[in-house]
Amino acid sequence: MQKDKYPYSLLIVEDNPGDQFLIEDYLHEQILDPDIQVAKTFTDAKKIIVENKSSLDAILIDLTLPDIERKTLLEEMHKLANGVPYLILTGYTDSSFAIEALKSGAEDYLIKDEINAPYLFKSILYAIERNNQGKKLEKSRKQYQDLFQLSPQPMWLCDAENGNIMDVNKAAISKYHYSYDEFLTLNLNDIYCDCEASEICSEKSDNDLAKLKYVVNHKKKNGEILQAEVLQNPYLLNGKLTYIELINDVTELNKHIQTIKLQNQKLRDIAWTQSHIIRAPLARILGITQLINEDLYSEDEIPTFLSHITESAQELDKIVENIIQDAQTIMPEREQYKNEDET
């Protein structure tokens, strides 16, 4: 039989020399060169765990030790192990206590009379792997919480089936003025108003759940309405479909865009109207200059021509002045938004 070459670092906490020898023998049978430390009391085990916690792969601990009662042992091991998987060894076939031990944090509950070398080694491997997966899950959960809570943009987690809000970050609390507890009593329908979404686009993710991006009106606690660009991402939480919604307040941006559209329309109106008004005096000036260029006039007509040119030039000057005045009614609004953007 080929032994596992990984140098497992294990702690055996056992006060019975016969059981200790048997467990070590089982481990040497399956592992090439295990690093085994032994403690006969919980006090000794505590010292070893504190000094070697970072290097221990697993702990095998007898349920009946001379210096601690078994219920207290479970409580103390839960606090002491803190990241190191531990397995309970016992001669008792007490199923109710076995469940209690597993609930308290033990990775497994092994009856000594049922143990053999492969069974013990398999239990240790499974315990280590479960513990590693638990650490990864906890790290992932912590990263999610950090990204969620530290986001400068409002975010909430809601039930995909009924729209109930399940979690919310600090930015959303600040923006919408609800407390955290108040948010958890809300449904999306309490926040969404005039809910015909516009600018909707969807994108398929790797798990075929659609990401949506749309703009709707949201109502704050004080009744104020804001335009929200919502990026909705599906998220499976413990097998349940939820949505993480990230909110971007586009109220001012849309006002800015709408103002620019109105300004552009006004400028187009000015250009169209004034271009037609300009043509009349300009046509008169062009007509007179053409007559002069072609010598199609008499000496007594010159004063009349000059009078028409002067009147037409004054009319053009007035039209230009009106164009400037109309344009100035638009420009201050543009300058206002420019100043707001700079601040």
Query: What are the residues facing 58 on neighbouring strands?
Result: 10
57 in Cβ contact with 10 (< 8 Å): yes
Q: How far is CA 81 from CA 61, 89, 141, 198, in A?
A: 11, 16, 21, 54
The DSSP secondary-structure symbol of 113 reads G
Whether 337 has a pLDDT exceeding 70, the answer reads no
The predicted pLDDT at position 21 comes to 94
What's the confidence (pLDDT) of residue 214? 82
Q: What is the pTM for the complete model shown?
A: 0.52
Decide which of 215 and 35 is more confident.
35
Q: What homologous superfamily is domain 152-249 in, according to CATH?
A: PAS domain (3.30.450.20)
List pLDDT tens digits, range 113-163. 999 999 999 999 999 999 888 888 777 777 777 778 888 899 999 999 999
- Which amino acid type is present at position 74? L
Domain 9-145 = CATH 3.40.50.2300? yes
Query: Residues of the chain with pLDDT > 70: what percent?
Result: 90
Q: What SS3 state is found at 110? A: strand
So what's the pLDDT on residue 194?
62
- Kindly state the percentage of the chain with pLDDT values over 90: 41
234 within 8 A of 210, measured Cβ to Cβ: yes
Residue-wise pLDDT for 161-213, tens only, equals: 999 999 999 999 999 999 999 999 999 999 988 644 444 344 444 444 456 78
Query: Would you call 83 exposed, middle or buried from its count of C-beta atoms within 10 A (0-12, 13-18, 19+)?
Result: exposed
pLDDT at 196: 45
Residue 195: its pLDDT value, please?
47
* Residue 312 pLDDT > 90: no
- Where residue 245 falls among pLDDT bands split at 50, 70, 90? very high
Q: How confident is residue 258, by pLDDT bands cut at 50, 70 and 90?
A: confident
Residues sharing a CB contact under 8 Å with residue 31, sequence separation 6 or more, in sequence order: 3, 4, 6, 8, 121
Structure tokens at 41: 């009391």
Residue spans per domain, the chain: 9-145, 152-249, 253-342
Give buried/exposed letters for 171-195 (b at 16+ CB in 10 A, else e).
bbbebbebeeeebeebebebbbeee
- Can you spell out the DSSP letters for 7-48? --EEEEE-S-HHHHHHHHHHHHHHBSS-EEEEESSHHHHHHH
Q: Rounded distance, CA 231 to CA 294, Å?
A: 71
Domains 9-145 and 152-249 share a fold: no
